[in-house]
Amino acid sequence: MKTKISSKGQIVLPAQIRQQDRIKAGDEFELERLDRGEYLLKRRAAAPNEGAVDWLLECPEKGFFVAIESESTDSL
């Protein structure tokens, strides 16, 4: 698949790839230079629980998950 470098020097990932791999703004990648003109782009692994709250809030059954206020540990 072809892509371009933007005027700001950014690599443009085609929409098809972003949708297939659920890539969104802010996702982090590592870029490695293998040789002249050859590069490897790897998506950085997310933290194990990253996105869990967003996933729960998107639950189709409303009221399934309700965020609660957490208590401060300052008083412990």
Say if residue 62's pLDDT is above 80. no
How many separate domains does the chain show? 1
Any domain includes 76: no
Q: How confident is the model at residue 41 (pLDDT cuts 50, 70, 90)?
A: very high
CA 54 to chain centre: 12
Say if residue 31's pLDDT is above 80. yes
Question: Hey, is 56 helix, strand or coil?
Answer: helix
Domain range holding 55?
A: 1-69
Round to whole Å and give the CA distance between 61 and 52: 16
Q: What letter would DSSP give residue 17?
A: H
Say if residue 67's pLDDT is above 80. no
Give the CATH number, domain containing residue 14: 2.10.260.10
Question: Hey, is 33 helix, strand or coil?
Answer: strand
Any domain includes 21: yes
